[in-house]
Structures are given as structure tokens and as C-alpha cells.
Amino acid sequence: MTSPVAIVTGGSRGIGAAIAERLAKDGFDIAITYVRNAEAARRVTSAIEATGRRALAIQSDGGNVTDNTALVQKVVSAFGRLDALVCNAGAYPYGGPDTMTVDDISRTLDLNMRGVMIESVSAARAMKEGGRIILIGSAFGERVPLPGISIYSATKAGLVGFAKGLSRDLGPKGITVNVIQPGPIDTELNPADGPAGDALRSVLAIPKYGEVKDIADFVSFLASDRSSYITGAALSVDGGLTA
Ligand code: NDP
């Protein structure tokens, strides 16, 4: 049997890079996507290849329909199969009604929702022996503790409805669909020493930022056979933000 294959969108940095490297250690061949930072993507593919697994970096904008529809086919052409999709790429516009623009709204919907939907549907068609679709949502999709994140929170909440619906369609095919809802995780997007750091720590039960490993470990479990009876779930890894 050939090795299982996973796609991790936005896998060149942050949470996505940690997920890609963790799944490689679990035995998956990995395709990551990125948009701007080819050098960062190369570092991740090198780390994956160092584990003995195959790696592919694809420049693919999750907000672009043409890129979305081509992604799964590119990976199946290169690796011959698909077993797991992790939709991790996401936009985080910040601003309230006084400053938010139509472009902020459209860009966020395109990447955080439409792109995830197209990639998930394409992946489901390509998964011939069951599979795992894992969407990286956010604790802010369930609880909104700060102003300025309404668009982001709406898209991450929307992923839960999408996953619940798709789980009904795909359960009989042995494909599970789940959302992980991280709390604040220390990355370039949301640095622990950044402007939102203190406000976020103050609403956590465990008053510190999580690490990318906290999410990668959970994805590893959800991508494995050990999670085969979990589907249509929104699963918090959030330091108690939603407690
Ligand atoms: P980072 O900004 O650290 O990394 C973003 C990654 O996504 C990079 O690999 C980047 O590629 C890629 N990317 C950005 N835009 C696109 C796009 N249009 N198409 C494809 N790839 C893209 O983000 P995080 O690791 O912090 O966040 C990852 C996910 O986790 C997001 O969905 C975010 O909403 C979610 N999340 C994060 C939390 C946090 O506190 N960090 C909390 C809750 C959820 P490139 O290197 O080319 O720019």
C-alpha cells in the first residue's frame, strides 16, 4: 500500500507548518499551499523530506476559485491518492463598522469560507478509501471576546455549519468532517506579545497563549484511525476561552 497523502493549506508558516510536519511524522506524504513566502514553504518541505516522506509546495491562493478547483487534482496527479485535507489558511481582518470595507468582507468570505468549501468538496470526490476533512476554525466562531472581529468570527462560525452538513453527506463513505476551534496560538498572525495579548489572556481559563504544537497534536489524532467515530464536531483547543 502507498503512503497516505494529506494536503495542508497555508502550510508554510505558523499552525499549518506545524500540522504539516506532524502529519509527516505520522507517515503522510504532504502537499502544502502558500501564497507569498516560497522560502518558508521550502523550509517546511525540507523538514518533511527529512522524515522520509514526500513533500510538495504548491502556490495556491485559497481565495481564488481557479486555484481552489485545481489544488486537489494537482496533488492526486503528483501523489496518486488523497486521504486527508486540512483547511488551515485563513484571513484575519481587524476592524469595526467604522473602518471595515467591502473588500475586507469579500476577501475574508472568499478565503475562510468559499475556498474551504471548494477544497472540501473536491477532496471528498478524490478520497476513494475514506478520509478526513479537518477545518481550522476559531474559538472566536463560538465566543467573541473582543471588538473588531465580526467578519472573522462569522466565517469561522460558518465553518461549523458547513462541517455538520458535509459530515451527513460523507459519513456513509467513511469520510469524517470536523472543525478545530483554537484559542490564541502564538504565531505571526497573533503573537503572544502583540497588541491583543493581554486582553486575550484575561479571558482564558488557562491564562497563556497556546503553541502551534497544541493544534498539530490534535490534528494528528483527528487524521488518524483513532478518531473514526468523531464527525460533524466543533472541537475546542482554546485554553478555556469558550468555557
Ligand atoms: P499565519 O499568519 O502564521 O500563517 C498563515 C499561513 O497561511 C501561511 O502559510 C500563509 O502563506 C498562508 N496563507 C495566507 N493567506 C493565504 C491564502 N490566501 N491562500 C493560501 N495560504 C495562505 O497564521 P496562523 O498559523 O496563526 O493561522 C492559521 C489558521 O489558524 C487560520 O485559519 C487562523 O484563522 C486560525 N487560527 C489562528 C489562531 C491564532 O491565534 N494564531 C487562533 C484561532 C484560529 P505565506 O507564507 O505564503 O504567506
pLDDT in tens, 106-152: 999 999 999 999 999 999 999 999 999 999 999 999 999 999 999 99
Provide the β-strand partners of residue 132: 84, 176
Residue of 60, 74, 88, 112 to test ligand 1 pocket, by largest number of atoms within 8 Å of CB:
88
- Asked whether the ipTM of the predicted complex exceeds the cut of 0.85, the reply is yes
The Cα 179–Cα 111 span in angstroms is: 16
What is the reported pTM? Answer: 0.98
The angle subtended at Cα 59 by Cα 58 and Cα 65, nearest 5°, is 105
Question: Per-residue b/e over 47-82, b at no fewer than 16 CB within 10 Å?
Answer: bbeeeebbbbbbebbbbbeebbeebbebbbeebebb
Q: Grid coordinates representing 46?
A: 525540507
Residue ranges of the domains in the chain? 5-237
Query: What pLDDT, on the 0 to 100 scale, is given for residue 1?
Result: 66
Per-residue pLDDT tens digits for 32-71: 999 999 999 999 999 999 999 999 999 999 999 999 999 9
Residue of 21, 35, 64, 116 to test ligand 1 pocket, by largest number of atoms within 8 Å of CB:
35
The side-by-side arrangement of strands in the sheet containing 234-237 is 55-59, 29-34, 5-8, 84-87, 131-136, 175-182, 234-237
Q: Answer yes or no: is the C-beta of 99 below 6 A from any ligand 1 atom.
A: no
How far does the centroid of ligand 1 lie from the alpha carbon of residue 100, in Å?
A: 20
Q: Are 59 and 33 in contact (CB under 8 A)?
A: yes
Has 152 been annotated as catalytic? yes
Query: What pLDDT, on the 0 to 100 scale, is given for residue 185?
Result: 98
For residue 113, which of 131, 133, 90 has the smallest C-alpha distance? 90
What CATH homologous superfamily does 5-237 map to? Answer: NAD(P)-binding Rossmann-like Domain (3.40.50.720)
Atom number of ligand 1 nearest to Cα 137 = 44
